[in-house]
A and B are shown apart, each in its own frame.
Chain A
Amino acid sequence: MFWPALQGFWLALTNWDGLSAPRFVGFGNFGDMVSDPIFRTALKNTAIWLVLFGGLSVIGGFGMALLLQRERRGVGIYRAALFTPVVFSLVVTALIWRVFYQPDGLVDTVFRSVGLGNFVRPWLADPDTALYAVIVPALWRQIGYVMVLYLAGLKAVDPALYEAAKVDGASAWQRTRYVTIPQLKGVNSVVLSVIVIDSLRSFDIVWSMTRGGPYHSSELLSTYMYSTAFQSTQLGYASAIAVVIFVLALAVILGYLIRAFREES
């Protein structure tokens, strides 16, 4: 497991087409990235992805968990409905939504029927909308997952705390803000790591919907890395992109851990 990872780091410092022997180029690959416009798009898109996909799935998942935390009639059905997409593979998810986005598909029909016909466009084939058209199905699947994590966390919160807050006259919003959220610190760190890692390795959904296109407009670092490695066989350069992904994941997670650690001491 770690041996191949080390090999990956070594390859990042080489120029390798997979046929001849790897040639050592030092940090040349990383220098090339700076002037590679596709890499810059992919980096920017990955950042957008992290903020939109990560942020909205936490907000959505947490909101849904708050709404569905109390055991009462019907809640089981609502939870199951939100959770169903999680069991699908991302390829299945992608195809379901591709059917939607087709010209004259349901999305277009709905837009036309509410009088927004002017906005109709080839959602996945338009460079302006492709990335966002891919984020929607990714969110559709992730929100249910995050919801389950938060539901488990909410269950572990001591009900006596709410009672105490209620007696003290705290409103529902204050109880959420000052009791629930601080109590969920542990879950938050798990959710954050899950989200960051999921965002950085998001590959399946983009690959199945657009392959990073059109004109690299929905390219993420992970898809760019894959196509550089296995379609244009620049293995050294691809390894260097993989190292960037690795460092980003590590930085975000370590940053969070250090902050959480400081707050504790």
Chain B
Amino acid sequence: MIRRVGYHVAMSVVSFLWVAPILWVIVISFRSFDDVAANGLGSLPHSFTFSTYKSAWEDADEFRALINSLLVTIPAVLLSLGLASIAAYGLARYNLPFRRTILLLMLMGNLLPPQILLIPISRFVELIGYYDTLIALIAVHVGFGLGFYTFVLHGFMRDLPREIQEAATIDGAGPGKIYSAVILPLTRPALAALGALSFTWIFNDLLWSITVIRSGEKMPVTPALLGLQGLFVSSWNVIAAGTVIAAVPTVAVFLRFQKHFVGGLAIGAVK
């Protein structure tokens, strides 16, 4: 009994310490500038204001940055999962030659440190005239995610029973029809998991955004947040508000897809 109470007390303390930084930043984001200036960032709040959010949203134009982020993230997620599911379908359900090699190459591409690709890709994007466009960023994310998503979906599709496909073939369905009407619906849990994961990965990206995009008005919200620091030097309450705004979409996706999300991270571990 005492051990159990001790366990819960200790774990509650650890959990609280873990989320405390987040709570503290939320508190700061509602403090007025005068309050912060007079009492310091380490003190308890003496004021309550929404003006910090207004500054971050309007003056720093986080609204536009969020739109940019969504314009990149949503097409990139849909496109890469769509292509990956087609590739995985082909590799898992048909006896294509070299399928193991293809799969391994795809996975290896994912293990490459991105640094080795930074310069060639930024030059290539410049060469074809897509430097500083959101399209280039989408393409980079699709290219980067494809290998891993194909690998995971392949593992998932391979475990579906053969009989389903045979039955559908007997009923006169072609490969396209089997893919869209049989395999895809059965793969939904894996797709949901990967969708939630890739959403946060792409949304949270910094390195590729600052490599491929230059102009401020095209920056997604993650790199734009860094610019906020330059704009509101030492207005930490506004920066805190901007940080909260930038964190909301991924937290929303996480809460909505919590089970899939954690499951998705685990897929890789058990495989």
Contact = CB atoms under 8 A, between A and B. Distances in A.
Contacts of B14: 78, 81-82
Contacts of B173: none
A253 B223 CA distance: 31
Contact of A84 (B18, B143, B222): B18
Interface in B6-35: 7-8, 11-12, 14-16, 18-19, 21-22, 24-25, 28
A121 interface: no
A225 B247 CA distance: 28
A2 B270 contact: no
Residues of B in contact with A, size category? 35 or more
A149 B200 CA distance: 17
A200 B207 CA distance: 14
B115 A222 contact: yes
A238 B204 contact: no
A30 interface: no
Interface in A141-192: 144-145, 148-153, 156, 186-187, 190-191
A203 B42 contact: no
Interface stretch (B80-88, B119-127, B153-161, B162-170): B119-127
Interface stretch (B94-102, B180-188, B261-269): B261-269
Interface string A113-154: 000000000000000000000000000100011001111110
Contacts of A109: 40, 42-43
Contacts of B258: 80
B145 to A, nearest CB: 11
Contacts of A191: 269
B270 A186 contact: yes
Contact of B266 (A68, A140, A148, A242): A148
A147 to B, nearest CB: 10
Contacts of A7: 120
Nearest to A75: B11
A84 B250 CA distance: 10
25 contacts: A1-B117, A5-B120, A7-B120, A78-B15, A81-B14, A87-B247, A89-B204, A92-B246, A92-B247, A95-B229, A98-B239, A99-B41, A99-B239, A104-B41, A105-B40, A109-B43, A148-B265, A149-B266, A152-B266, A187-B270, A191-B269, A204-B207, A222-B115, A230-B122, A246-B115
Interface of A: 1-2, 4-5, 7-9, 11, 18, 67-68, 74, 77-78, 80-85, 87-92, 95-100, 102, 104-110, 140, 144-145, 148-153, 156, 186-187, 190-191, 193, 197, 200-201, 203-204, 207-208, 221-222, 225-226, 229-230, 235, 238-239, 241-243, 245-246, 249, 253
